Chains A and B, each alone.
Chain A
Amino acid sequence: MFTSKTVGLSLAITFATFVYAAESPNLGTLASAAEIAAYDLTVMPDGTGLPVGSGSVAQGVRLYTEQCLACHGTEGEGGLNDRLAGGHGSLATPAPVKTIGSFWPYATTLFDYIRRAMPYTEPGSLSSDEIYSLTAYLLYINGVVDDEAVMDARVLPEVVMPNGDNFVWAYEP
């Protein structure tokens, strides 16, 4: 039943919502540029967020062998954990293999992800130069760049991934 009591209640709720929106607690403190820089780990597809530094495929081979191979296998295959290379042209077959080279749409994601999460047991331990080197190496073993490649904040966002234009957004803002 819709009584005068329930009318009163719903009015009170409306009023409370209004006051709450108009008078927000405002208990956040202004973050300084230095504080933001300390938190910010995101690399955007256009390269926003990439740090200064650079790294080559040759440097990447050495780092990969020391720090990644045990879990991800020789040249990114046959390891304990995620396969990082191969599978090209397999996506529309009955046995698709999704790897950096066969699947990933953006090369910037590699820098973003290695910096935040790898190596698995010691994330955050690599320098920017080392991450650029590993990114270059992983792109190389996937046939995306050649063995002379050097990655930095200018080059990496321009790398075109083989499967890059094969994605459809199911959500458009």
Chain B
Amino acid sequence: MSDHDSTVTQEHSGGKLRARITEPVELLPAAGNGLLGRRSFIKAGLGAAGGIGLMQAVPASAARPGHMRSPGPGMSEYGSPAPAEANVKRIGIGSQRGTTGSGASRSPLEHLHGIVTPSGLHFERHHAGVPEIDPASHNILIHGLVKRPLLFSMDALARYPTVSRLQFLECSGNSGTLLAAEPPQLSCGELHGLVSGSEWGGVPLAVLLDEAGVLPSARWLVAEGADAAVMSRSVPLAKAMDDALVALYQNGERLRPENGYPARLFLPGWEGNMSVKWLRRIYVTAQPAMTKDETSKYSDLQPDGSSLLFTFPMAVKSVITSPSPGLAMQGPGLYQISGIAWSGSGRIRRVDVSADGGKSWVQAALDDLVLPKSLTRFTSAWRWDGSPGVLLSRAVDETGAVQPTRESLMSNRAAGAFYHYNAIQAWRVGEAGEVNNVYV
């Protein structure tokens, strides 16, 4: 197979990244252990696929397999994934002992592509299960430090002008298993799958608060859900007025029950627990309520025994989703390293990838959509020569924040500090093509 292929250049035009195909060039090594320049990533992928196709022998029956000899089933009311994809499902499902509803499930990141998580595979974190809510009798109350306490029915909310945004949601407990002294041998999704990306649509909370007339003394609001735990969190008024949504839609349809149907709060870039699902009440206050889930939980113990409250934004982070544990390599040759990067502080500026455990790095290509507080897909071509290597990705966001190494993150962390783990993930690719979680 030839190394000569078209190259792809990237241009910024009007703030959007565009790929353009130009003349053939050679795929040249850009960093140690076979990493190739990001300028060659798309065509390298096509070349590799074409090569495999040519080498396969075509059996005679393949000319007209069964599914081409009679008409298939007809239309369906609500489509499902292909039967052969039945293994792609939520993973790492666990609940507190003796309960089924106080726990989490994770997105199978290693099987997903792009920056949108199918709604049925969005991670879950519930405190008392998923409530079954009749939208016709569900209201959202806004009260407290407002001129007019107001009740909004779901039908009323559906008549408001809405906005839609492609953004991530991440539980601040995501990746917490990596605090273990020995690297847990789990899949990418089991380790990092408490993050998902969706198109969230809904009514800006600021619009509803303006209608209620927020009083000058207000600084916070307490958001409350209609689940059996009546989960509640205090949210700064400034965030509510900035970019908070009362979300009604996820990926073009109404929210799924496990994601807050019929309405949820959505706070872009902030720890997932605050984006209260099954939203029933917004209580406008001067002070935070100091709820259980912002004091006992979701606070951050420091080495000196003190603790931080209100560590809201999710920090810059990335992870390689392929190759990753469970996705074995198929022998030496060209591969696309692919992963996701995100930051609660804005856009991803760049992602660097290493195949030699951090000795050398190459800048990965970012897929077309690079949006604020959104998953961003990165790729980098890699010619694996069959020898062991350690793959890393390191994201930088538009504020200049750099994803830390595990060593630096752990160096000033209290033993009991669990939340907000955003260190660089290392995958070791062994000679047999197996991929393992390692600490470097």
A residues near B, CB below 8 A?
20-21, 24-31, 35-36, 39-46, 71, 80-82, 91-98, 100, 103-106, 108-109, 112-113, 116-117, 120, 123, 166-171, 173
Contacts and interface: CB of A to CB of B under 8 A. Distances in A.
A29 B141 CA distance: 9
B289 A44 contact: yes
B106 to A, nearest CB: 21
A31 B160 contact: no
B151 A25 contact: no
B301 interface: yes
Nearest to A24: B211
A167 B121 CA distance: 36
A41 B229 CA distance: 11
Interface string B155-173: 0110111000000000000
Contact of B289 (A42, A81, A103): A42
24 contacts: A25-B161, A27-B156, A27-B159, A39-B143, A40-B283, A42-B283, A44-B290, A80-B98, A91-B414, A95-B416, A97-B416, A106-B290, A106-B295, A109-B296, A112-B291, A112-B292, A120-B128, A123-B230, A166-B305, A167-B306, A168-B306, A168-B308, A173-B220, A173-B238
Given A24-B211, A28-B208, A42-B283, A171 B295 contact: no
A39 B161 CA distance: 27
A36 B141 contact: yes
B128 A117 contact: yes
Contacts of B238: 173
Interface stretch (B23-31, B309-317, B396-404): B309-317
A96 B141 contact: no
Contact of A173 (B142, B150, B219, B281): B219
Interface of B: 96-99, 102, 127-128, 141-143, 148-153, 156-157, 159-161, 207-208, 210-212, 219-220, 222, 224, 228-232, 236-238, 280-281, 283, 285, 287, 289-292, 295-296, 299-301, 303-312, 414-416
Contacts of B290: 44-45, 105-106, 108-109
A170 B310 contact: yes
A104 B295 contact: yes
A166 B308 CA distance: 9
A27 B230 contact: no
A11 to B, nearest CB: 17
B310 A171 contact: yes
A147 B413 CA distance: 38
A116 B230 contact: yes
Contact of A43 (B102, B156, B207, B289): B289
Contacts of B280: 39
A31 B151 contact: yes
Given A92-B303, A173-B238, A109 B295 contact: yes
B340 to A, nearest CB: 26
Nearest to A97: B416
Contact of B306 (A95, A104, A166): A166
